[in-house]
Amino acid sequence: MDEIQRLRARIDGIDQEIALLLKSRNEDARLLGRIKRIRGMPLQDPKRERTILDRMISSSASKPKTRLRAGGFLDSKGYGSS
């Protein structure tokens, strides 16, 4: 297997892991929503959402060419990378 195929296979594996993590996160978020409804709590928490976003942006800042913004991953010029 040449280097390109090896890297693509590795990226494919990472993509699978991301998909599983997102599925798990979605399931937990839905359960959280049900609990909040039962308890009469607001479903959205803007302060918590901001904290999560800030943490994600901060953790992605270690790589100057790849930044995370609310709209998704952007390259250093602000364009979506592929």
Same domain? For 57 and 82 the reply is: yes
Give the whole-angstrom CA distance, residue 3 versus residue 40. Answer: 54
Same domain? For 51 and 77 the reply is: yes
* Burial of residue 68 (number of CB atoms within 10 Å: 0-12, 13-18, 19+): middle
The pLDDT of residue 57: 85
What's the pLDDT tens digit per position in 34-69? 999 999 999 999 999 999 988 888 887 665 555 555
Same domain? For 49 and 69 the reply is: yes
Domain that residue 51 falls in = 44-82
Same domain? For 60 and 36 the reply is: no
Same domain? For 16 and 51 the reply is: no
Give the whole-angstrom CA distance, residue 20 versus residue 7. Answer: 20
Number of domains in the chain: 2
Same domain? For 38 and 55 the reply is: no
